[in-house]
């Protein structure tokens, strides 16, 4: 008999019929003898409906009251799912974040979990009940309702699994697992049986938005076995595990991630003096623009080109800032490019395999794809290329590293 | 500086615009120096929307989960009203029933308030905030969410006023006060400046559904000055006060109430033996049919006619039961009449004024209205008449007791 924490997102509980389908799924686990804690999001559309009510009243609603408002979305779902479970003779009990006592800090709308009291859940589980917990919410020490920010239900599920030392935390989504790359781009993309937390974080941060990064980090930190499965069809999904020799696939590269949401900015001909990087980036971050990749090459003539990427939405703002900086630093000019894409190969196996980068660059070069920027981490190599080559690059790399085959 | 508890019902907070209007109203009181606690209902339509979600899932939803579900309605309103108040620079803080700690018994969907912790509200009031409390809800000692049943927001307001020893509890509705009778029936019906709790209870139970009876009883028990006012227009409304000589209007009769929702049933020719009344009524109450008026006259020939009224919706069911009883008791026949109405005169002054009943019966008789049943209490005389005479009877009595004039 195992203890399983399951999480169902907004689409999975989007209608009363879907809530009934989730109840059937939960009951199957319960009937097979498992103890089950279910974490649910608000029915899809509900959170937006609530936010639009707030928008009609205030341009800048008080965060404390936003949390009181939007937390009702999940509360509705826990009540309905508990009813649906009891309707099919599966004893169940709903709990809000406050009722479990998911203690968070006081940062409304982006609170962080500090502690979870597991006693009330244990009590209900011992009484043979399925425990249905509202995701995304908690309370601070003064009993104020807090929310963890959008997508926070994944984090709730992982945190509950950690607190209860659950055997597995299952995240049900509208995809049936984590793929070697986006199947819409590469036909032969393959669902992975297993992936490491580190790989998952790199994949997630690059747009494979199956799971919230924060939830994956949390799961890694507390060694919670995490599984991504489909709400709508049966299957084993993908298990996200701790990196250990025995259970890892042997391939150097596990997957290809990509991202079209970035834009590239370059300050050309910057005098190469100490502290110049911060002089360029400080005005950018002062405008709350997040920077992703940064590349600087020292030239021979005491001048350098400084290049970085930002989210495409911030491109115009960043370009304007950069033009001011250009003048101030006496650089030659500020250039920019909106039509770029980032492609990355990800894999823990990279650590011990030499030549992975070379193989990547050669494969791209063979297709005549020019690499504009390169950035590497221990388990990832990212390149920036012209956006029009994105699909070609992803397919080429998927083939070059033979990802359609299990290793 | 006074402490005022205000309650706004579902219609008053039915849209975001109306919530903003309520905020303006609340701010006026606050600006004039009063401390204000506001109790709100769910936005009109919201409770029904939530119930229909439950209905789609279960024919007989678990009461505990129904309370988790429907309590979100008021939670949405407190958040929105608090935002609206802060938007116009009126500091405010929302509190759910659980956050105030409105402690109730464990009877889900019809819980009764046992205790109110006033400390959190006092703290917020001391900090200069308007406190916005979710009506209709509380928590039991195990932190389960409970609701007080439909219309329970009035009760919440009165209970908070009692706990806080508020100077006044103001119930904002869609009428501007309590009238001597229904203005739609009698043009000259007059808004009363004051009415006693006892009169209000009699009026309310007869269909003047301005206030929930339970709330009025509660206010009477704890001597909370209660005022009924309009949400939509300014005015003094009607103050509901404790019966005391000095502040009472001097008239014997304060108002005329009426009710078309009843039906009359008669068992004719019942053998007049001890215990016959319970033999007739037991099978009726066993079917969960509530009985209102009961009249029994002992006849000369050891036979009696036994007459009572039930809600019109229960008429057919009651008639069927009565026919069985008729056979069992050897009575002559079971008769019934759906087309009746009940008209009552209500007034604490009645106690000390002789001849009120006579005056009532004479006035009706002068108009040729036949009285089918009579029932009296200390401050009320009710008669059952043919429904077609209802308006005539109400107008006649309103005139006979000179209610258009203040006394």
The answer to whether the CB atoms of A65 and B75 lie below 8 A apart is no
The nearest CA of chain A is from the CA of B80 a distance in Å of 6
Contact B38, B70 (CB under 8 A): no
Contacts of B57 in chain A (CB under 8 A): 16, 19-20, 80, 83-84, 87
Pairing of strands B380-386, B373-377: antiparallel
Establish if B354 touches chain A: CB-CB under 8 angstroms: no
User: Residue A137, exposed/middle/buried by CB under 10 A (0-12, 13-18, 19+)?
Assistant: buried
Nearest to B19 among A57, A98, A99 (CB): A57
pLDDT on residue A208:
53
Contacts of A119 in chain B (CB under 8 A): none
Phi, psi at B351, each rounded to 5°: -50, -40
The nearest CA of chain B is from the CA of A61 a distance in Å of 6
Q: Least CA distance to B133: which residue of chain A?
A: A68
What residues have CB less than 8 Å from B123, skipping those under 6 apart?
none
- Interval A184-217: pLDDT, tens: 899 999 999 988 888 888 876 555 566 777 788 8
Establish if A61 touches chain B: CB-CB under 8 angstroms: yes
The nearest CA of chain A is from the CA of B395 a distance in Å of 46
Contact B27, B91 (CB under 8 A): no
Which residue, among B157, B272, B267, B264, has the nearest Cα to B219 in the 3D structure?
A: B157
Round to whole Å and give the CA distance between A381 and A255: 11
Domain range summary for chain B, segments of one domain joined by +: 3-173
Establish if A69 touches chain B: CB-CB under 8 angstroms: yes
Contacts of A146 in chain B (CB under 8 A): none
Q: Least CA distance to B70: which residue of chain A?
A: A76
- From first to last of the 407 residues of chain B, give the pLDDT tens digit: 899 999 999 999 999 999 999 999 999 999 999 999 999 999 999 999 999 999 999 999 999 999 999 999 999 999 999 999 999 999 999 999 999 999 999 999 999 999 999 999 999 999 999 999 999 999 999 999 999 975 589 999 999 999 999 999 999 988 888 889 988 899 999 999 988 888 888 876 555 566 777 788 888 888 899 999 998 888 999 999 876 554 445 568 989 999 888 999 999 988 877 778 888 988 998 888 888 888 877 666 778 888 999 999 999 999 999 999 999 999 999 999 999 999 999 988 787 777 888 899 999 999 999 998 888 888 889 999 999 999 999 999 999 999 998 76
pLDDT-derived band of residue A271, with 50, 70 and 90 as boundaries? confident
The answer to whether the CB atoms of A79 and B86 lie below 8 A apart is no
Establish if B137 touches chain A: CB-CB under 8 angstroms: no
Round to whole Å and give the CA distance between B404 and A178: 78
Contact A342, A258 (CB under 8 A): yes
Establish if B19 touches chain A: CB-CB under 8 angstroms: yes
Contacts of A143 in chain B (CB under 8 A): 98-99
Round to whole Å and give the CA distance between A349 and A173: 27
Establish if A357 touches chain B: CB-CB under 8 angstroms: no
Q: Least CA distance to A96: which residue of chain B?
A: B68
DSSP secondary structure letters along A361-391: HHHHHHTTPPP-EEEEETTEEEEEEEGGGHH
B interface test, pick of A80, A98, A108, A130 with most B CB neighbours within 10 Å: A80
Round to whole Å and give the CA distance between B181 and B397: 10
Identify any residues that bridge with B191 across adjacent strands, giving them in sequence order.
B179
Which residue, among B75, B151, B137, B77, has the nearest Cα to B108 in the 3D structure?
A: B137
Tokens for B9, please give them. Answer: 């019902």
Question: Domain B3-173 belongs to what architecture?
Answer: 3-Layer(aba) Sandwich (3.40)
Establish if A119 touches chain B: CB-CB under 8 angstroms: no
Round to whole Å and give the CA distance between B382 and A271: 99
Identify any residues that bridge with B146 across adjacent strands, giving them in sequence order.
B138
pLDDT on residue B244:
55
DSSP secondary structure letters along B100-143: HTEEE-S-TTS--EEEE--HHHHHHHHTTPEEEEETTEEE-TT-
Q: Rounded to the nearest 5 degrees, what angle is found at the Cα of B323, between the Cα atoms of B319 and B324? A: 125
Contact B112, B102 (CB under 8 A): no
Residues recorded for chain A: 407
Nearest to B57 among A64, A66, A83 (CB): A83
The nearest CA of chain A is from the CA of B7 a distance in Å of 19
- Interval A23-82: pLDDT, tens: 999 999 999 999 999 999 999 999 999 999 999 999 999 999 999 999 999 999 999 999
pLDDT on residue A247:
46
pLDDT on residue A244:
55
Q: What is the number of H-type helices and E-type strands within chain B?
A: 12, 20
The nearest CA of chain A is from the CA of B88 a distance in Å of 9
Task: Write the ipTM.
Answer: 0.80
Round to whole Å and give the CA distance between B217 and B215: 5
Establish if B86 touches chain A: CB-CB under 8 angstroms: yes
Contacts of B96 in chain A (CB under 8 A): 68, 145
Tokens for B92, please give them. Answer: 């405010």
The answer to whether the CB atoms of A79 and B68 lie below 8 A apart is yes
The answer to whether the CB atoms of B75 and A69 lie below 8 A apart is yes
Contacts of B76 in chain A (CB under 8 A): 50, 53, 69, 72
The nearest CA of chain B is from the CA of A200 a distance in Å of 36
Pairing of strands A291-298, A303-311: antiparallel
Residues recorded for chain B: 407
Contacts of A98 in chain B (CB under 8 A): 98, 143
Whether residue A162 is predicted with pLDDT greater than 90 in this model: the reply is yes
Where do the H-state alpha helices sit in A33-146? Answer: 46-57, 63-87, 97-100, 119-126
A-B contacts at Cβ under 8 angstroms: 107
Establish if A82 touches chain B: CB-CB under 8 angstroms: yes
Tokens for A196, please give them. Answer: 């490491």
Round to whole Å and give the CA distance between A337 and A312: 10
The nearest CA of chain A is from the CA of B148 a distance in Å of 18
The answer to whether the CB atoms of A75 and B75 lie below 8 A apart is yes
The nearest CA of chain B is from the CA of A403 a distance in Å of 44
Phi, psi at B343, each rounded to 5°: -125, 135
Which residue has 């889900």 as its token pair? B108
Identify any residues that bridge with B133 across adjacent strands, giving them in sequence order.
B39, B95
Nearest to B87 among A58, A69, A144 (CB): A58
Nearest to B16 among A19, A53, A79 (CB): A53
The answer to whether the CB atoms of B16 and A94 lie below 8 A apart is no
Contact A132, A167 (CB under 8 A): no
Contacts of B82 in chain A (CB under 8 A): 62, 65, 68
pLDDT on residue B247:
47
The answer to whether the CB atoms of B83 and A61 lie below 8 A apart is yes
Starting at the earlier edge strand, list the strands of the sheet with B255-259: B255-259, B340-346, B380-386, B373-377
pLDDT on residue B389:
95
DSSP secondary structure letters along B234-248: -S--EEEE---GGGS
Rounded to the nearest 10 degrees, what angle do helices A152-164 and A119-126 cross at? 70
The answer to whether the CB atoms of A58 and B99 lie below 8 A apart is no
Establish if A66 touches chain B: CB-CB under 8 angstroms: yes
Q: Least CA distance to B88: which residue of chain A?
A: A58
Q: Least CA distance to A144: which residue of chain B?
A: B99
Establish if B20 touches chain A: CB-CB under 8 angstroms: yes
Contact B1, B30 (CB under 8 A): no
Identify any residues that bridge with A305 across adjacent strands, giving them in sequence order.
A297
Tokens for B100, please give them. Answer: 């105030």
Contact A113, A148 (CB under 8 A): yes
Establish if A143 touches chain B: CB-CB under 8 angstroms: yes
pLDDT on residue A298:
67
Which residue has 């020893």 as its token pair? B165
Contacts of B98 in chain A (CB under 8 A): 98, 143
Contacts of B53 in chain A (CB under 8 A): 16, 76, 80
């Amino acid at each position: 008999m195992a203890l399983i924490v399951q999480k169902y997102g907004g689409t999975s509980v989007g209608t009363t019929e879907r809530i009934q389908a989730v109840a059937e799924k939960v009951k199957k686990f319960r009937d097979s003898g498992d103890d089950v804690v279910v974490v649910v999001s608000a029915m899809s559309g509900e959170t937006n409906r609530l936010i639009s009510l707030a928008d009609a009243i205030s341009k800048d609603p008080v965060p404390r009251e936003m949390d009181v408002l939007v937390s009702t979305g999940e509360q509705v779902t826990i009540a309905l799912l508990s009813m649906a479970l009891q309707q099919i003779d599966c004893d169940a009990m709903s709990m809000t974040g406050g009722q479990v006592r998911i203690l968070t800090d006081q940062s409304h709308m982006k609170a962080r979990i500090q502690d979870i009291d597991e006693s009330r859940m244990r009590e209900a589980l011992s009484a043979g009940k399925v425990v249905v917990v509202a995701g995304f919410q908690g309370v601070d020490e003064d009993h104020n309702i807090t929310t963890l920010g959008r997508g926070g239900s994944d984090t709730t599920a992982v945190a509950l699994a950690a607190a209860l030392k659950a055997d597995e935390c299952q995240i049900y989504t509208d995809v049936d697992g984590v793929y070697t790359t986006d199947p819409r781009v590469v036909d032969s993309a393959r669902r992975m049986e297993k992936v490491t937390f580190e790989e998952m974080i790199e994949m997630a941060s690059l747009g494979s938005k199956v799971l919230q990064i924060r939830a994956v980090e949390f799961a890694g930190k507390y060694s919670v076995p995490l599984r991504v499965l489909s709400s709508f069809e049966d299957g084993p999904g993908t298990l996200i595990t701790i990196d250990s020799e025995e259970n890892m696939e042997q391939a150097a590269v596990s997957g290809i991630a990509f991202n079209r949401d970035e834009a590239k900015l370059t300050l050309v001909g910057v005098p190469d003096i100490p502290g110049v990087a911060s002089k360029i980036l400080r005005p950018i971050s002062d405008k709350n623009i997040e920077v992703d990749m940064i590349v600087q090459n020292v030239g021979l003539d005491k001048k350098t080109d400084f290049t970085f990427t930002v989210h495409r939405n911030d491109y115009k703002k960043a370009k304007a800032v950069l033009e001011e900086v250009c003048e101030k630093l006496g650089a030659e000019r500020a250039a920019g490019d909106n039509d770029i894409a980032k492609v990355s190969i990800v894999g823990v196996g990279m650590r011990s395999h030499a030549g992975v980068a070379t193989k990547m660059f050669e494969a791209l070069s063979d297709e005549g794809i020019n690499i504009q920027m390169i950035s590497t981490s221990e388990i990832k190599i990212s390149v920036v290329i012209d956006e029009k080559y994105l699909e070609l690059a992803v397919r080429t790399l998927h083939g070059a590293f033979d990802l359609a085959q299990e290793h």
